[in-house]
Every structure is written in C-alpha cells, then in structure tokens.
Structure 1
Amino acid sequence: MSPPVPPAGTAPPPPSPPPASPRRRSRLVAALACVLVLALAVAGLAVFRPGPVAGWLGDDDASGTAVAAPPEPTPPAVLAGPDGNAPLPTEAGIRAALDPLVRAAALGDRVHLSVADVSTGQALYGSGQDTPTVPASVTKLATGVAVLAARGPAYRIPTKAVAGANPGEVVLVGGGDPTLAVDKDGFYPGAARLDDLAAQVRNALGGTAPTKVIVDSSLFTGPVFEPGWDSDIPTGGFGAAITALMTDGARKNPAEARRTAEQTNHAAERVPQPDLTAGRQFAKLLGLTGGAAQVTRGAAPAASGATGTAPGAELGTVESLPMIRLVDIMISDSDNVIAEAMARQVALAKGKPGSFVGGAAATGQVLGELGLPAGEISLADGSGLSRTNRISPSLLTDLITLAGNGSHPELAAIFGGLPVGGWSGTLDERYRAAATSAGAGVVRAKTGTLSGVNAIAGTVTTADGRLLTFAVLTDRTQGSLDETRAALDRITSALAGCGCR
C-alpha cells in the first residue's frame, strides 16, 4: 500500500542524487521531453505530481505568478525513457555488480531476479528468473497491462439508472466503477458522481416522483472477499467487499479519508455492504426519506427497446475516468479496491464471470494472447493481497519490456503511476542514503509487501543512459522491513550507478 501524494502546493523534500554534469543534465531533459511526447500521444493527457517537476517546468502558482526554476541540483529524470544508442551493459558486468548484493541476508533464501534491456528485450541477468514467486502488490502490473489490453486506455465504466417495474421505481445499476463519488467531495478527483446521475433521473421522470430505489450489483459474482486473503484484510483499511456498485472505494467517510490519507497511508474504514450504501446515498439525493429510503437489491427490468419511463428504460448514466487514469491511480496509490475492479473488467471483456476466479483466469488469458509466458503466472486476485498468487520475475520483465518498447503503445499507461525513487509513492523515502542515492530519480518501480514477502519491479536508467527493466521477488525474507527494502534498493541502485560493461 503506497503512501499518498502530498496535496497541491506541498513540495516533498527533494532527493539527493549526486551533482549532474552538464552532459547528463542535457540527456535527462531530452529524455523527459521524449517521454512526455509519447505520453501525450498515447493518453491524450499528462498527469503531473505536484512538487519539484511542476516548478521545473515553469508552472504558475495559484496567484498566476510564474514560478522560477529551482537552483541546482537539477531535478531527476522522473520520466526517463529508453535511449537505444546508449551502450548496452554486458551480462558479465551486471553479474559482477549484482551477485554480491543478491546474497544479502535480509533478502532470505528465496531471491528470484530478472534484468533485461527494454529496447531489445535481451535478458541480461537471471537468478531463479523463471520461478513463480509470491508477488504481493507487484501483481498490479499484470492487472494493469491486462485491463489496458482488454478494454483500451480510453474505456470508461458506466453507472446507469433505469426505470423499475412500477411507476417511480428507480434501479441503480452498478457497472463496476470503484471510484464513483456521491458528490463533489468524493475521494477520487474527477470521478463520476451520483448527484449528477440523480439530476438526470429527476429530469427523465418528469412529473413522476421517485418512490423507491433498487440496486442491481449483479455484474460482479462470487465472494466479495478472496478466500486467500489474510484475515485482517476485510477490516484493516486497505481492502473492501468487492461489489459492482460502490462509492469512493467503499470508504465510510471519503472526505475525512482524503484529508488524512498521508497519515494513514491510504488506509480507511470501509462500509460492509458497498452496494446498499451507494443505493441509500442515491435515494437521499432523489429526495427519498423514511421508509421510501430503504433500499433493496434486485434486478433491472430488461430494456427491450423501452423508452421514456417504461420498465427498463434508461433514465441516466455517468461514466468513470478513462481506464488510463484508473490504472494510474491503481499503481501510484497501490489501490487494492481499484485493482480488483480492474481484474473484473478484464473478465467481462473476455466473456468471463466478474469474479475473483473470472478476473484471474482472464488476466492469464490476455497475457498469453500478448505473447507472454502465461504458464509462469497463477493468480487468485488482481491486487496481490492473496498469498496464493505466483508470478515469475522474467514474466514481469517481459511484461514491462512489452509495455515500454513501443510495440503496444496502449500498454504504456502502466508507467505513468510508477513510484519514482526518492520522489513519490512507496519509493518516496527510499534511495536517500549514500549507498542507494544512484537510484534516486531513475528507478521507477512498483513495490509489493506482505509479511515475509518483499518485491520490486520496474525500470531503471543506467549511468550510460540505457533503460533496463528489473524484477526482484523474495518470499522468505528475514530481518526488519527496513533492512529488506535497503537490500532491494542496493540491487536497483547498482544497476543505476554502473555502465556494467
């Protein structure tokens, strides 16, 4: 679970990489510009985290006054991209750099590692690289790639209201949007809103007064909690009952959760029945009180071409943020509820049940269709909370290479939300020690943590400007969490700091 992004206007402490030479500064700025162009071409938008980069690009502050560029050191290349002309490290060079680090006691006795070149896909280092290993939240990389491939970056999830069987009855039909808000005070900025949908319904009903709300959350099936989750997940604040209709990721108090996200690491109390809670919120927006506000579950009448207020006729619809943005939030915040909803979108796109089982099966199917070794992944959920998940490091580096080499531009959205070493997300406070400072700003990776399990997978730009992908999975770690993370960071920093030739 990732630490939150500070609110706008609050700049985090800058990382402390070594001073950059003029040649390196020039290369970093050029790399940033290239990737920004790619991001704009693929996504049609760019999302920047407030902080050092905003000032560096000359953004205005709230008063409209131009912000001067910060003094040295030059900000890190937080969007560094591949340079196919940079020298390729040798396998022997990388092995010499990594072999001593892989044997660190804090990593335990199951350390599986894969390193490859993004431009060519050439494998450069492996140790147990094809061995399926517990991935924890690194699973979200597989979920993100699968949903971008299956749904496309521009897809939006609809939430609809249709006319019920009797006059005045309104059926709220969940489409699986976990970010749906009640009103402008929702947890996820820019989310679809129930108050907008309620306004559409009142307009569509005309002179007919709403009398009852029924919720149809049948799009998702099966258990609402994955059987392999640890017993504290349902109540620990990082997971929730997964239903096709919910508001604000099932948070009980989204406004408070937004205010305290930084202190709570995005944990928040969740409601036990998200679909019924959303239905009651919708009933209140429609002006229903007392017994009329009592919401029940039911099925929406078949539309069959119905119009007006006939049973099954559509009374209104709102749509989620585009898939590219949902994936970005899922990865940057390590949002488990969004991840489970995304896995179900993969299932629905592939004609499978919208369940834990359907999502896991569909994710494996889509990765296989992309040419990845589907035999090296076995999932029970889309978030990585399940300890029964298994992914090999080499599948992860293959997946990242596929997303980053330009052959599937729709998959490049997984990079937008990746935490940056010494700068954002779960890597915000890492890569600040002298032994790991080479990774600050040039390591972009998804982390994963369960008790006894620590993982990291992403990209790193070498000192020569070559973009590599790496995955390090350990599921028998020893020692403290800080020691294990430091050992992982030394591995990725070694890749950042050497030419390895």
Structure 2
Amino acid sequence: MSNAAEETPQTNASVPGGRRRHRRTPSSGSPGARRALVLALAVPMASAALAAPSAFAASGDGTAVTAADPSGVVGADDQQMAANLDTRVLDQRLGADVSGVVLDADSDSTLWDHNGATALMPASNVKLATSTAALSVLGPHHRFTTKVVYGDGTLTLVGGGDRTLTSADLTELARTAVAGLKSAGLTSVKVAVDDSLFPTPTLADGWNDGYYPDTVAPVRALVVDGRGVQDTALDAGQTFAKLLAADGVSVTGDVVRRTADHTDVPVARHRSAPLSDVVRVMLKTSDNNIAETLLRMTALGAGRPATFEGGTEVVREVLRHYGVSLDHFELHDGSGLSRTDRIPAATLAQVLELLTEPRHAHTLGAILDGLPVAGEAGSTLGPEWGRFDDPHSQCAVGKVQAKTGTLTGAVALSGLTRTDDGEWRVFSFIENGSTAAPNDIKDAMDGLAATVNGCWA
C-alpha cells in the first residue's frame, strides 16, 4: 500500500533500557477468560484493573542498548548480533529516522535497542495490534454470519461483517432462499440489503480520499468477493438478485437499503471460516479491508460502537490488559493506512513476544501462523515482492516470520526467528523518511532480520 504524499513524522526521543521487568500477563486461552476480558473492557479506560507497568525501563540517552540475560551473561552470538546491528542500522538506505528492538523472549531481556521507544509511523504493522485485539475479544473460533430474511414481500440480505464472503457463498444463500420461496408458492420478490451493523463509512484520521476504493473500500458490513467499490453492500445485493433470477425467481424493482425487522422470517444463512483463518489470510497478504472490518467487529464484541474510535479504544485496552506498553502509542485505524498512527518498535516487539508464550497459543496462535515467512510465495515476504533475495538476507529464507509495513515514507518489519539453539528472538524495525528507493530500503530491513537470525553473522 502506498500514499503519494510525503511526510516526515514527529518522533519522541525517549528510549527504553536494557533489562525489562518480567510481565505477568493474564492467560486468555479459554472462553471464560475471554468473557472476563470483555467485561474488563466495559470498565472505564482509567480503571486500575486494566493498568499494567511498562515492560521497558527508560534509559533516556538515545543510544543503542545491549542487555544481559537473567544470569548476567550475554552469549557471544548475541554480542556479535548486537554489534552487527549497531553498524547495520546506520545503513544510509534506512535514513536517519530509524528505530529497532531485539528481545530474547526466553530470558525476558532486551538484547539490542536503537531508539526503540521513539514513536514512528508503523504502516501495516498496525495489523499485529488489530489481530491481537480481535482474537482476544471474539475468540479464534468466532464466525461471522450473513443472513437472508423475508418479510413484506422482500428478501433482505443482512451483512454480518464477513469480509471473506464469496460469490460461491452467495450462490448457496440464493439457492436456499429460492427453495424456500418456491415451497411457499412465491415466484417474485423484492430484494434489499441491510448493512446497518456498521455506521455510515467514514475516512479515518490520516487517510485521504485517494484510498477509496482501491487501497481500501468504504467499511461496510456486507461485501462480496472483496470487491473494491464505493458501495459494497448494494453491489452484493445486486449480485444476489441476479443469482435469484438465474434460479427462476423474478426480482421486481431496484435493490434498496432496508433495516431488517425482528418479525422477518429467517430464510438462509452463511457462516464464515473461523476468525483464526481470517486473521491468517489478513496477515499473509496484508489485507487492509479485512483489518478495518475486524476493527469494527472487535468493537462490537466489546460492547463499543463499530467505529474507528470504538475499535481503536478496544485495541488499546486489550494491549494494556496483556501488559504491553502504550507509551507514545497513537492509533487511528485497524490497517495502518493512517499517516497519523504512531507506534514505537518496543511496543510492536512486546506484542509479538506474546506469541512465544505457550499460555497464549490457543488465543493468539493464528497470528504466528499468519506471519509471512521469508521467501514464502503468495505472502508479502514472497519473491514476487523482492524480499530476502539480497546476498546478505538470502540465508534467512524460511527462517524468519515477520509482518511487513509499507507506506510512502515509512517501511517496517517486525517478527520472530529462532536461534540455532531454538531460542526465540523477537525484533521490530521501523524507518520513516528515507529517500532511498523502496526496494533498497526493504533489502536493508531484510538484512537486519537476517542479522537477528544470526545467519548473516
């Protein structure tokens, strides 16, 4: 995703220090725990029940920091990795406004830090926070339901926030609806759509009109085949009407909007794949539309309005619930398209560190599964995007899992890798404002990830 407008973001220069306090984050692997989380989210934001200390102590000197593990000894490999990063983060392709953090998830220590608390524009790395909130509030097995109801001579297609609905799914809904109509002796019907689950679509703070409808479509509760059109709900309704007609039921009049009545008779329904599958798809391909829909469904799941504001408020509270630092954290959407989003690399690393804890595997495992793998075709780290094909980073193909982020003036890469000993290394790198060619910036970023892996020693 890209935005032609150039902007140099404001940054905050405070820097986290080496040793981190161990975070005692709550387990959320069971439905009961998720219910408790949703109840907690209903408490005012200032509630101490959601407060958690920052996992990073401030050093404030603006320099890179290498931390000892709990035994007080830094391994030779980690020392070499940190020394290499000190040099490679100064690569001119990355520009002057770059931040990074590397964590040892097993010892709960910071192995390397370069301006890690500086809040930069994270681009699509925002999707890591959106996914964490969605899975925590709704649960990995949650499914989104699209319904067809009948009342007053009208079939109404009711959107339920399923951004993965396909023409094949709509065909099955139409087939079931036609069977019901014919059994009732009806051969003619009006068609309406109900996308009232979400408020009227708006632009997020930091978006521009040029995003619609290609980069992201107006966020509605009803869409088919992910089509990028201005009115996805009417588009889906018109497709549905054609399917009805092809199956022998005539449709009278134009497709219109209508809010389904509680007295309408259920005719058909389609349930999406589990949320865990939806999250995997969204992360592999960095799908902006799925991310924005999940933000709204997460807000509804926590009892908040299905708006940018409602969704981002829940994201903040979920991260706070896990003990993730929200210092200098500013969020305005679910996809990372907003040029006013600001997240420190330290915060993104903490979000990813949750994935290394077995107690969170049930709830958050889909994020780890969905992270693109270096060199994985069909993902945003695939060869078709020119990723991990540089002589220095090719060694990390298949060894690094990471979320990409790309806007004009912002490139990010945050992920995980394992050492030869099987220990987790979590990293986040963000640059803003580099004037180098985008592919050159990405090559430099991939090199940093290969450095963390240790294959580029």
- Deviation of 1:496 after TM superposition, in Å, equals 1.6
- Does residue 1:489 correspond to 2:441, yes or no? no
Q: Contact 2:189/2:251 (CA < 8 Å) preserved in 1? A: no
> 2-side partners of 1:412 and 1:385: how far apart?
25
- Deviation of 1:499 after TM superposition, in Å, equals 10
- Pair 1:498–1:422, CA change in 2 (3 A): closer
Q: Contact 1:90/1:124 (CA < 8 Å) preserved in 2? A: no
In the alignment, which of 283, 305, 313 is matched to residue 331 of structure 1? 283
- Pair 1:162–1:374, CA change in 2 (3 A): farther
SS across alignment from 2:338:
coil
Q: Contact 1:178/1:246 (CA < 8 Å) preserved in 2? A: yes
- Deviation of 1:208 after TM superposition, in Å, equals 3.1
Q: Contact 2:148/2:156 (CA < 8 Å) preserved in 1? A: yes
* Counterpart residue number, 1:215: 193
Q: Contact 1:438/1:494 (CA < 8 Å) preserved in 2? A: no
Q: Deviations over 1:449-480 (max 9, x none)?
A: 11110000001223443220100011122211
Which 5+ residue runs of structure 1 have no aligned equivalent? 3-40, 43-86, 184-192, 252-269, 303-310
> 2-side partners of 1:316 and 1:144: how far apart?
29
Q: Say which is worse superposed, 321-330 or 94-103, in terms of deviation.
A: 94-103
* Alignment-mate amino acid for residue 320 of structure 1: S
* Alignment-mate amino acid for residue 212 of structure 1: K
- Pair 1:385–1:499, CA change in 2 (3 A): closer
In the alignment, which of 140, 165, 172 is matched to residue 127 of structure 2? 140
* Counterpart residue number, 1:225: 203
In the alignment, which of 391, 398, 413 is matched to residue 366 of structure 2? 413
- Deviation of 1:112 after TM superposition, in Å, equals 1.1
Q: Contact 1:225/1:240 (CA < 8 Å) preserved in 2? A: no
* Counterpart residue number, 1:104: 91
TM-score of the pair, normalised by structure 2: 0.78
- Pair 1:233–1:466, CA change in 2 (3 A): same
Q: Contact 2:412/2:428 (CA < 8 Å) preserved in 1? A: yes
- Does residue 1:436 correspond to 2:436, yes or no? no
- Does residue 1:459 correspond to 2:408, yes or no? no
Q: How does 1:171-210 map to 2 (within 5 A)?
A: 171-183=156-168, 193-205=169-181, 206-210=184-188
> 2-side partners of 1:391 and 1:468: how far apart?
20
> 2-side partners of 1:385 and 1:289: how far apart?
42
Q: Contact 1:214/1:295 (CA < 8 Å) preserved in 2? A: yes
> 1-side partners of 2:91 and 2:327: how far apart?
29
In the alignment, which of 218, 234, 238 is matched to residue 280 of structure 1? 238
* Alignment-mate amino acid for residue 198 of structure 2: F
Q: Contact 1:143/1:339 (CA < 8 Å) preserved in 2? A: yes
In the alignment, which of 97, 109, 116 is matched to residue 122 of structure 1? 109
> 1-side partners of 2:77 and 2:301: how far apart?
41
Q: Contact 1:88/1:466 (CA < 8 Å) preserved in 2? A: no
> 2-side partners of 1:119 and 1:163: how far apart?
56
* Alignment-mate amino acid for residue 211 of structure 1: V
* Counterpart residue number, 2:150: 163
SS across alignment from 1:326:
helix
- Does residue 1:470 correspond to 2:398, yes or no? no
- Does residue 1:244 correspond to 2:217, yes or no? no
> 2-side partners of 1:407 and 1:348: how far apart?
26
* Counterpart residue number, 1:426: 380
- Does residue 1:350 correspond to 2:277, yes or no? no
> 2-side partners of 1:127 and 1:328: how far apart?
30
SS across alignment from 1:483:
helix
In the alignment, which of 402, 407, 416 is matched to residue 445 of structure 1? 402
SS across alignment from 2:350:
helix
- Pair 1:280–1:103, CA change in 2 (3 A): same
Q: Deviations over 1:35-90 (max 9, x none)?
A: xxxxxx99xxxxxxxxxxxxxxxxxxxxxxxxxxxxxxxxxxxxxxxxxxxx9677
> 1-side partners of 2:110 and 2:84: how far apart?
16
* Counterpart residue number, 1:315: 267
SS across alignment from 1:161:
strand
Q: CA RMSD for the aligned pairs? A: 2.4
* Alignment-mate amino acid for residue 220 of structure 2: T
Q: Deviations over 1:275-294 (max 9, x none)?
A: 00111111222228887151
> 1-side partners of 2:162 and 2:313: how far apart?
21
TM-score of the pair, normalised by structure 1: 0.71
SS across alignment from 2:304:
coil
* Counterpart residue number, 2:50: none
Q: Contact 2:188/2:251 (CA < 8 Å) preserved in 1? A: no
> 2-side partners of 1:182 and 1:88: how far apart?
55
Q: Contact 1:365/1:374 (CA < 8 Å) preserved in 2? A: no
- Deviation of 1:91 after TM superposition, in Å, equals 6.2
- Does residue 1:296 correspond to 2:256, yes or no? yes
- Deviation of 1:353 after TM superposition, in Å, equals 1.3
Q: Contact 2:241/2:251 (CA < 8 Å) preserved in 1? A: no
* Alignment-mate amino acid for residue 378 of structure 1: E
Q: Deviations over 1:378-397 (max 9, x none)?
A: 21111111111111111111
Which 5+ residue runs of structure 2 have no aligned equivalent? 3-28, 31-73
Q: Say which is worse superposed, 427-436 or 479-488, in terms of deviation.
A: 427-436
> 1-side partners of 2:288 and 2:76: how far apart?
36
> 2-side partners of 1:348 and 1:382: how far apart?
14
> 2-side partners of 1:420 and 1:333: how far apart?
12
Give the number of aligned pairs: 379
* Alignment-mate amino acid for residue 171 of structure 1: T
Q: Deviations over 1:7-60 (max 9, x none)?
A: xxxxxxxxxxxxxxxxxxxxxxxxxxxxxxxxxx99xxxxxxxxxxxxxxxxxx
Q: Contact 1:170/1:210 (CA < 8 Å) preserved in 2? A: no
